[in-house]
A and B are shown apart, each in its own frame.
Chain A
Amino acid sequence: MMYTQSVDKDLTADAPDRAEVSLGKSFRRVNGLDIAIGGAALAVMTFIYFPMLVVVLYSFNPDTVNSFPMRGFSTKWYGTMLDNEPLLHSLRISLVIAVVATTLALVIGVLAALAMKKYEFRLKRFFERVILLPITLPGILTGVAMLSFFPLIGVRISLTAVAIGHTTFLICIVLTQVYARLKRLDPFLEEAAADLGATPVQAFFKVILPNIRTAIIGAALLSITLSLDEIPVTFFLIARDNTLPIEIYTMLRRGITPEVNAVSTLIFLISLLTLVLSVRFGERETKPI
């Protein structure tokens, strides 16, 4: 639910409304209420961004203690980070799991989305709600449930289990995103392709896929990000090798190590990049060129 909305660019495509707003504005005089609302908005924005700014700033702090004011500027923690072999190892593991889980989720999710778009079945409405549960239910419940069951079917608590766990909720992300796009697609495109001599498989690759491509890329980016950040499910399914967030978590439990600032800054930048990419992909299809 929440993730579907987060990349639904329909919300921002509101150009016609904007004209009305600005029209209304010209009749308005600035008064106390306006200033209060503006001030409150600014305060909330600050609250949201202040912690992240602190982390970025203090990643260049030469000190071990994160105190105010900073005593100088240094990139030494980035160096420390690069020497931290367990940390780099966990990053590699996280990347492998993210790629594997996202790939599996894309295959299963896109196929299921096509099935739901193409066929009517009795429990469809019910299913549209149920499919959101894996992302709405607390991750800790899902994690423990998997921990209790996986060994019974021979899936050992391991990175395999983690990949399966991630795939399970990523499928829902892919399914909801791609299904939403398919529902907006002209329902007659497939028939038009068939009418012009394309078999169902050809119609999918030549007509449907190019039109849902951006939704698939968006879902993939979101899936990779979520997988890289996931803790609750991973927490219970991990054995020896840690994923990146779990590794950071263990570092934090041991005490504050300033190189976490450096890692966090990098993660923050990567998140920013993926979001920008996904916004790009989202906008291209809603905006007439």
Chain B
Amino acid sequence: MTIAQPTAVSTVPANPPTMPDIVELRAIEKYFGTNRVIPSLSLRIRQGEFLTLLGPSGCGKTTLLRIIAGFENPTHGQVLLDGDDITALPPFRRNVNTVFQNYALFPHLSVRENVAFGLKQKGIDKATVAREVEQVLAMVRMESFVDRKPKELSGGQQQRIALARAIVNRPKVLLLDEPLAALDLKLRKQMQIELKNLHQQLGITFVFVTHDQEEALTMSDRIAVMNRGVIEQLDAPQTVYDHPASQFVADFIGENNTLSGTVEGGQFHYGSTRIPVAEAPKQQGAALLFIRPEHVIINRQRPADAFSLPAQVVGRTFLGNQWKIHCNLTGSDTPIDIAVKPDAINALDGYTDVFLNWPVGKATLALQ
């Protein structure tokens, strides 16, 4: 897998934190039978933002989305939409719309009828419905397919219709449940860009569920990384990548090396090595240090002016745009991976005993 470089259009959230919250989840708790899938979760989603719920399967992200949509009722807690408590409202009375994972297009209805479904439910007059449907189909560039049935469309086309069917209702929040998972890689990339553009055009709040970290980094204003029903970190993509808040986040997004040590006197102690960190913590105690493979520097000689960790090179793997050097730290055998540009690999031939370090600001400290 290629390493995920943060490629988000902007690292600054599109909407400053002063924007009002469109959705507020208060102490949501969800049980399936005796199985607690969400322990107690609170989340504020800002008006107009693109928020991604990211996590492995079974982390509760889809359940959370379904609670907002109204398909699941939380065992405890409240759901607020634009300030109103909608916890008890059935899905058909909520002003939110969903793009389903497998699109759930109505097979017996044409593209036009599918898209018009929600508007007709609201009792809007025919002429308006026709106009709105036409507009939204133009927006997703599907205007020439109005009379087709869903099964006569390709996956990507079905995807656009599912999108059109939801946004034509101008929901306060658009919920997207892994909508790109069924598409092949190339189409997925293209749809990511289109979705992002659509988001900017419409100004509707998007809540997007995915297990694909790259997708999350590419599209989101903010990412909520979920694990076992808990949001481990909620931040802008760049922050999540550069400063993971926990071991889970560090490992789940991109690739990561972890050192386990202690914090004393504002420094991270790994064995006898003292490693300086950017923001010196006041606390003492056990801690983890996360460092991305592309930030680790290999030195042949022990650097005189900085810290370093002695290690042995045990192997290398070619990945196309980079080489991965596999090392074990001397003494502890902790594995460390280092990403190296292909043109720099020859300089490393014959290295076995090396010294590793990194720029101080690139490592992230997590107290335990």
Contact = CB atoms under 8 A, between A and B. Distances in A.
Interface of A: 186, 188-189, 191-199, 202-203, 206-207, 210-211, 288-289
Given A197-B122, A288-B152, A189 B98 contact: no
Nearest to B175: A195
A168 B166 CA distance: 44
A190 to B, nearest CB: 9
A210 B149 CA distance: 14
Given A211-B107, A288-B151, A195 B69 contact: yes
17 contacts: A188-B100, A188-B101, A188-B104, A189-B104, A191-B69, A192-B106, A193-B92, A193-B106, A194-B71, A195-B92, A196-B97, A196-B121, A197-B121, A197-B169, A202-B121, A207-B108, A211-B108
B104 A186 contact: yes
B102 A188 contact: yes
Most buried by B among A196, A202, A288: A196
Given A196-B117, A196-B165, A191 B91 contact: yes
Interface residues of B, number: 29
Contacts of B98: 191-192, 195
Contacts, number: 70
A203 B69 CA distance: 16
Interface string B98-115: 101110111111000000
A191 B71 contact: yes
B118 interface: yes
Contact of B100 (A191, A197, A198, A210): A191
Contacts of A197: 92-93, 118, 121-122, 169
A175 to B, nearest CB: 22
A203 B169 CA distance: 17
Contacts of A210: 108-109
Contact of A191 (B96, B104, B105, B107): B104
Contacts of A188: 100-102, 104
A198 B152 contact: no
A197 B121 CA distance: 6
